[in-house]
Amino acid sequence: MTLSRRDLLKGIAATAALRMCGASWPINVLSAQEPSGRLWVNKHMNLSEQVWRHYDVWNHSPDGAMAAPGWRGGFTHLGSILNEAQAMGRRVRAVGARWSLSRWAVCPDVMINTMPLNYHAVGLAPDDLSISAFDPARIVFAQCGTSVRELSETLEARGLSLPTSGASNGQTICGAISTGTHGSARRVGSMQDFMLGLHMLAEDGKQYWIERASAPVVSAAFCQRLGATLVRDDLLFRAAVAGLGSFGIIHAVMFEAVPGFLLEVHRRRLDWPQVAHAAATLELDGLGLPYSDEPFHLDIAVNPYATKRGEGGAIVTAMYQRPLGPVPPRIVSDTAMVPGVDLLALSGKFANLAPRTIKRGVNAMFASMMKATERPPLGTHGQVFPTTALIGNSLSTEIGVDLANAGQALGTLIDVANRYAFPGLFGVRYVQRSDALLAFTKFQTTCTIEMTGAAGPRTENFYARAWAALDQARIPYTQHWGKINNTTAGNLRARWGSSVDQWITARQSLLSPAGRRLFSNDLLSRCGLQA
Amino acid sequence: MARRMGTTRRAAAALLVLAGGCAHFRVAPANVSPATLQEERRVRIAGWGVQEPLITPTNCEGQGMATVMITIRPRDTFIAIVTLGIVRPALIQWTCAKERNGGAR
């Protein structure tokens, strides 16, 4: 057999490629990275940071042993990391599921991954409670890294439920409350609103149990077993519960679960002119919903490029609470086609290169979003708000406006999108006022308008134009802390008013200047909250 | 003319290979939450599979995996084509799972 010139060339190319690859793709896999000095990236891939020390904190020791109670090992580990960082003059941020699109969890010094800290227990001994206003069987003690999914699973197995959550279930409980995560259960509020107590790890190894003086929950004996100082202070609690990770590390939270329920989900595609009045007033008569009573949950997806009659530019989702009962089994395949990891990044790049295609692309995507259902799906809270399969490079910003201004705000934003298209959609939800001092759901009924799109300069530029248009129209609004925002010291007080100074005062009452520096980052400084 | 057509076809094929997006293959069991950041290793099969990579994660603390993703980039495909499959690179990424119901009672 003789080799042709072509085979010879292929052989040479293969040998060259093998050598070329040798340096960058060693056959023997590299040893595991040290648990420090690494590149941190958030879930939505819009943030990254080279971190001096990054720790994964587990409840068990490296040999697998776990101290009793199950949270003790992780708590001790958190304390030792804090002590070391404090001694070295470094700043510390605890990070949950990396869900946030803004830099609240980011700091170049020390970042602690709390996701493995998922101890959670349902039910307290009666002598752990200070008053009998709460049902001890429904009280939940959850470590910071416990995810919404884990909580739903555990509670639903006991006939209980979370009162509300975000639209998906991957956030950790402390990450969710710290930035004000909300759903659209209008009479329930945001996730921080059903919290009762916070186990806070602060500077110098101090630990506190913080709860409202007006709604005390735990007994002195409970705090003694925890090793924490009991602090009952309404203002401090309202500041720390949505504390942006800046009051210390919230090691665990306590809340009261609600009796389990099912949600009956109705979804209708309508024209935006049919929906606009309801979206601005919550007078739902024109939506043709199946029941006259107020839905437990209401959200509206809006395609800003299909706002005329006959274009089907709005999808209204109404959910009605039903008693807990058997749920029809779901047929689940173990293999499915889902949107690709690179889809959003490629869409963002394409939108930037060919902005004239954006409206057509969004219209096509929106038209395929809703599948007809023969009967309304029924499921538990955890089933209705499941894990999202969509991952990739996306961006999102969300504003909160008073319901009275919702119509004007939506009109303004739709107008901006039609003048400067971005590859994304609007999501409109309604949330009851939160009493957390810096909650972005601060209006009696806050209409939240989320603008989510593929990552890229086009989307970023759209956000800047949208905020500028709202400012120009003099529409008062707040911004979701966990999403892209332009909040600075210059506009913070205009948005949150006197709550800002109350928040700062509360933080000063808990932490010394050194402690305030320890639990700070650049974003806190940008917002003028570091004082 | 025929030669030019051939060149065009080869250029188009090369463009398709190089300009295409990455191919991702994901495994993510339901009801398992990730506990760690994503780790990744660039690996390759050599000699048509005579040698293949074995990854033994040391960051999972005795837990299983929550997600595994294999990524084949356009240049990985190019290398596999040029080397007639002798070398087939890929990127493997994973996250470790949380402890199941960590201490729930």
A35 touches chain B (CB under 8 A): yes
Q: Are A303 and A314 a contacting pair, CB within 8 Å? A: yes
Q: Are B42 and A25 a contacting pair, CB within 8 Å? A: yes
Alpha-carbon distance of A322 to A313, in angstroms, equals 29
Alpha-carbon distance of A239 to A247, in angstroms, equals 9
Nearest Cα residue in chain B from A338 = B26
Q: Higher-confidence residue: A391 or A74?
A: A74
Query: Residue A151's CB: how many other CB atoms inside 10 A?
Result: 26
pLDDT at position A259 is 97
Q: Do you know the residue count of chain A?
A: 531
CA distance B9 to chain A (A): 18
- Smallest Cβ–Cβ distance between A18 and the set B21, B36, B87 belongs to B87
CA distance A257 to chain B (A): 15
A367's CB contacts (< 8 A; 6+ apart) are A312
- Indicate if the pLDDT at residue A375 is higher than 70: no
A141 touches chain B (CB under 8 A): no
SS3 track for A24-58? HCCCCCCCCCCCCCEEEECCCCCCEEEECEEEECC
Interface test with A, best of B10, B26, B32, B33 (most A CBs within 10 A): B33
Q: Cα–Cα distances in Å, from A186 out to A301, A371, B69?
A: 16, 25, 38
What confidence tier does A27 reach under pLDDT thresholds 50, 70, 90?
very low
What confidence tier does A374 reach under pLDDT thresholds 50, 70, 90?
low
Query: Residue A23's CB: how many other CB atoms inside 10 A?
Result: 7
What is the average pLDDT across A256-261? Answer: 96
Please give the radius of gyration of chain A, using alpha carbons only, rounded to the nearest integer.
25
Per-residue tokens: A463: 């956000």
Interface test with B, best of A58, A60, A350, A393 (most B CBs within 10 A): A58
- Smallest Cβ–Cβ distance between A14 and the set B31, B86, B89 belongs to B86
Q: Which of A389-393, A484-488, B8-12 has the highest mean pLDDT?
A: A484-488
Pairs across A and B, CB distance < 8 A? 138
CA distance B72 to chain A (A): 12
Residue A26's φ and ψ, nearest 5 degrees, are -60, 145
* pTM attached to this predicted model: 0.89
- Smallest Cβ–Cβ distance between A116 and the set B26, B30, B35 belongs to B35
Per-residue tokens: B65: 């995996």
Alpha-carbon distance of A300 to A385, in angstroms, equals 15
A11's CB contacts (< 8 A; 6+ apart) are A3
- Indicate if the pLDDT at residue A8 is higher than 80: no
What confidence tier does A20 reach under pLDDT thresholds 50, 70, 90?
very low
> Cβ contacts (< 8 Å) between B88 and chain A: which residues?
none
- Interface pTM, i.e. ipTM: 0.84
Q: What angle separates helix A406-419 from helix A457-472, to the nearest 10 degrees?
A: 140
Residue A445's φ and ψ, nearest 5 degrees, are -120, 110
CA dihedral A298, A304, A308, A313 (to 10 degrees): -40
pLDDT in tens, B56-83: 999 998 899 999 999 999 999 999 999 9
pLDDT in tens, A76-95: 999 999 999 999 999 999 99
Are A341 and B26 a contacting pair at CB < 8 A? yes
Weakest-pLDDT range from A125-139, A174-188, A270-284, A298-312: A125-139
Helix (H, G, I), strand (E, B) or coil at A450: strand
CA distance B76 to chain A (A): 10
Q: Higher-confidence residue: A372 or A134?
A: A134
Nearest CA-CA partner of A385 in A336, A429, A341: A429
Residue A120's φ and ψ, nearest 5 degrees, are -150, 140
pLDDT in tens, A500-529: 999 999 999 999 999 999 999 999 999 999
A457 touches chain B (CB under 8 A): no
Alpha-carbon distance of B73 to B91, in angstroms, equals 8
pLDDT in tens, A270-319: 999 999 999 999 999 999 999 999 999 999 999 999 999 999 999 999 99
- Indicate if the pLDDT at residue A15 is higher than 50: no
Nearest Cα residue in chain A from B38 = A41
Nearest Cα residue in chain A from B91 = A25
Helices (H), A171-261: 173-178, 220-226, 234-240
HSE (side-chain half, CA atoms, 13 Å) at A3: 8
Per-residue tokens: A145: 């890294």
pLDDT at position B15 is 55
Q: Are A278 and A287 a contacting pair, CB within 8 Å? A: yes
Q: Are A512 and A203 a contacting pair, CB within 8 Å? A: yes
> Cβ contacts (< 8 Å) between B101 and chain A: which residues?
150, 153-154
Strands (E), A188-346: 195-201, 207-211, 229-232, 249-256, 258-259, 261-270, 297-302, 314-323
Residues of B with CB under 8 A from a CB of A: 21-22, 24, 26, 28, 30-31, 33-39, 41-44, 46, 51, 53-59, 61-62, 69, 79, 82-84, 86-87, 89, 98-99, 101-105
HSE (side-chain half, CA atoms, 13 Å) at A198: 33
Alpha-carbon distance of A448 to A482, in angstroms, equals 13
**DSSP notation for chain B:** -HHHHHHHHHHHHHHHHHHSPPEEEEE--TT--B-SPPEEEEEEEEGGGTB------SSSTT--EEEEEEEE-HHHHHHHHHTTTSEEEEEEEEEEBPPTTTT--
Query: Residue A317's CB: how many other CB atoms inside 10 A?
Result: 20
Interior angle at CA A496, CA A443 and CA A235, nearest 5: 90
Q: If you search the block for the tokens 């009452």, which residue do you land on?
A: A509
- Indicate if the pLDDT at residue B3 is higher than 80: no
According to DSSP, the β-strands at A110-113 and A92-95 are: parallel
What confidence tier does A341 reach under pLDDT thresholds 50, 70, 90?
confident
Identify the bridge partners of residue A298 per DSSP, sorted by sequence position.
A318
Q: If you search the block for the tokens 């293999």, which residue do you land on?
A: A335
> Cβ contacts (< 8 Å) between B34 and chain A: which residues?
97, 115
Q: Are A226 and A197 a contacting pair, CB within 8 Å? A: no
A12 touches chain B (CB under 8 A): no
Q: Are A434 and A195 a contacting pair, CB within 8 Å? A: no
A120 touches chain B (CB under 8 A): yes
A40 touches chain B (CB under 8 A): yes
- Smallest Cβ–Cβ distance between B102 and the set A97, A98, A118 belongs to A118
Are A120 and B36 a contacting pair at CB < 8 A? no
Per-residue tokens: A369: 């979003």
Alpha-carbon distance of A341 to A356, in angstroms, equals 24
pLDDT at position B20 is 57
Are A29 and B102 a contacting pair at CB < 8 A? no
- Indicate if the pLDDT at residue A164 is higher than 50: yes
According to DSSP, the β-strands at A261-270 and A314-323 are: antiparallel
A68 touches chain B (CB under 8 A): no
Nearest CA-CA partner of A169 in A448, A299, A161, A71: A161
